[in-house]
Structure 1
Amino acid sequence: MNSKKYSGSFFLFVYFYITKCKAEMEPFIVGGHFTKISKFPHSVFLTVECENTWICGSSILNQKILLTAAHCVFGCKTRWKIQCSAGDEDLSKVNVIREAAGFKIHEKYDDKSMANDIAILDLKRNLPLNRYMKRVIIRRSHPVGVLASVAGWGVTNRETNADSIVLKMATQKVLPPWLCARFGYLGPGKMCAKSPTPNTSPAQGDSGSALITKDFQQLGLVSFIFSDYPNIPVYTNVSYYYDWIRSKSFLLYCD
């Protein structure tokens, strides 16, 4: 999918009891290495069919709600289908497949500036949470400078545009806002990161994939990259949207 130009100690398990109701920007793991789903059990692969078909990543908020980028589902109006594959690093072996019943895009999402690039999906059937499918943790704030990881099934080679059917991961270091600003304007709710390994970053098809710490705290989700700085991915800062995620997840879950 082609996009257009252009931190409390409280934490959130989005869980509800059953009784509770240029810069040119690319949607983006180039480089990195293959990994196991048990190390990234929150990862869910999305196949989005609207006017065209494209792929994205997402993360598990609870057994029925997924978190992704707004641009992954933007433009899906009357006729659409979103298939969600989970539970295995190899897409050819996935046996847990769900369809989305609906989704909510942030009300102030801007498809040109990529502001407020966040959305949630509601599944028709619950995911069977286990060691291969686990929830992420979202806190109201998180530290800068930490090492985190991003995993996805997107493009693995920018020259050939070859997609991967096996999950890949890349290590990322969250950069301070003043340093991110050197690469281009980032409004509120954005953050950037860089891999300690050269030529390693999220790529096309990794949009919506989670940036997480080793304890499964989600810091961000892949939003875009500046074409002039392909190894500096920009993420939606999920802590910034803590209250939005909580309220919209409740509405979808109890709808």
Structure 2
Amino acid sequence: MRILFITLLGLKLTANATDLEPRIVQGIPVKSMKKFGYTVHFVSNGEERVTCGGSIVNQRTILTAAHCICDAPDQEFFIRVGSYHKNRGTLYNVKNTVVHERYDPIKLLYDIGLAVVDRDIRLGSEVYRVALSNTPPRAGLVGTIAGWGVSKREVNGPIKGAHALLYTKQKILPLYKCKKIMKIEVRPKTFCAGAKNASSYPWRGDSGGALVVDGSLQVGVLSAHAAPGVTLYTDVSQFLQWIDLQARRLYCQ
């Protein structure tokens, strides 16, 4: 599997999240960002509620899900990087966003977007760029997904995000198995992955996060919790040209 780096230097932050916004339930706490330095989360002005995740593509650009940023709020919003605690780390102001022009929130097609920040992200051992895969992930490959979403699922209780970054492992499933489990058509340019531990899975608050393999090679953008223990991802390898073009355009604006 070859690796592509982008070397260039919407946000839907609503109080009532939908069930399409994943979170990691019963995840494993992260104690250091050295293995998760590509991970960021979005926060709105004056709030510390985590609504979505993302990954650092380059010093200015964040890769996330379109449904996270399709309705940019009037107030300022930010990304936070560099700490596993959701209220620590460095804040960067989001200057502009773009979602894929063919994004369909009903069919969950082309659920991918970019956000650009107002200054260069300072990179280091605990803040670094993700690598983007240029080939679709093969079935059976095990990836890691991390986020600050809700860590305990309470159907009728309040939605509260985890204070510390959590992660879990997921195995990429073959197409026929996705169709069988989800009982719906698997959308083009997507794939699904199942939790190795059935009680630990992404859910509300983790949308936009990166499914990575081999340390920091991103193969998917977390789109939706599709079925019990199964998560739908946007296939990054199908959007490399779009990411490159839009990252250049946003940086030059």
Given the two structures, how large is their TM-score scaled by the length of structure 2? 0.87
CA distances 1:87-112 after superposition (whole Å, capped 9, x unpaired): 00012332x11011101100000111
The count of corresponding residues between Structure 1 and Structure 2 is 234
For residues 166-185 of structure 1, the aligned pairs below 5 Å read 166-182=164-180, 183=182, 184-185=184-185
Give the match's secondary structure for 1:162: coil
Equivalence for 1:191: 191
| Separation (CA, whole Å) in 2 of partners of 1:54 and 1:85 | 10
Question: Structure 1 residue aligned with 2:138, among 143, 150, 154?
Answer: 143
| Separation (CA, whole Å) in 2 of partners of 1:48 and 1:186 | 33
Q: Does 1:31 align with 2:26?
A: yes
| Separation (CA, whole Å) in 1 of partners of 2:172 and 2:123 | 29
Note if contact 1:170-1:201 (Cα within 8 Å) is conserved in structure 2.
Answer: yes
Equivalence for 1:59: 55
| Separation (CA, whole Å) in 1 of partners of 2:86 and 2:204 | 17
| Separation (CA, whole Å) in 1 of partners of 2:63 and 2:175 | 24
* Identical positions, percent: 29
Query: Structure 1: which 5+ runs fail to align?
Result: 1-8, 18-23
Question: Structure 2 residue aligned with 1:75, among 71, 77, 92?
Answer: 71
Give the match's secondary structure for 1:208: coil
Equivalence for 1:204: 204
| Separation (CA, whole Å) in 2 of partners of 1:117 and 1:47 | 20
Question: Structure 1 residue aligned with 2:245, among 235, 241, 247?
Answer: 247
For residues 217-228 of structure 1, the aligned pairs below 5 Å read 217-226=217-226
Which shows bigger deviation, 157-166 or 212-221?
Answer: 157-166
Note if contact 1:37-1:167 (Cα within 8 Å) is conserved in structure 2.
Answer: no
Query: Structure 2: which 5+ runs fail to align?
Result: 10-17
Q: Does 1:84 align with 2:86?
A: no
Give the match's secondary structure for 1:71: helix
Note if contact 1:103-1:121 (Cα within 8 Å) is conserved in structure 2.
Answer: yes
Given the two structures, how large is their TM-score scaled by the length of structure 1? 0.86
Aligned residues: CA RMSD: 1.8
Question: Structure 2 residue aligned with 1:124, among 93, 118, 125?
Answer: 118
Q: Does 1:134 align with 2:132?
A: no
Paired letter, 2:167:
M
Equivalence for 2:13: none
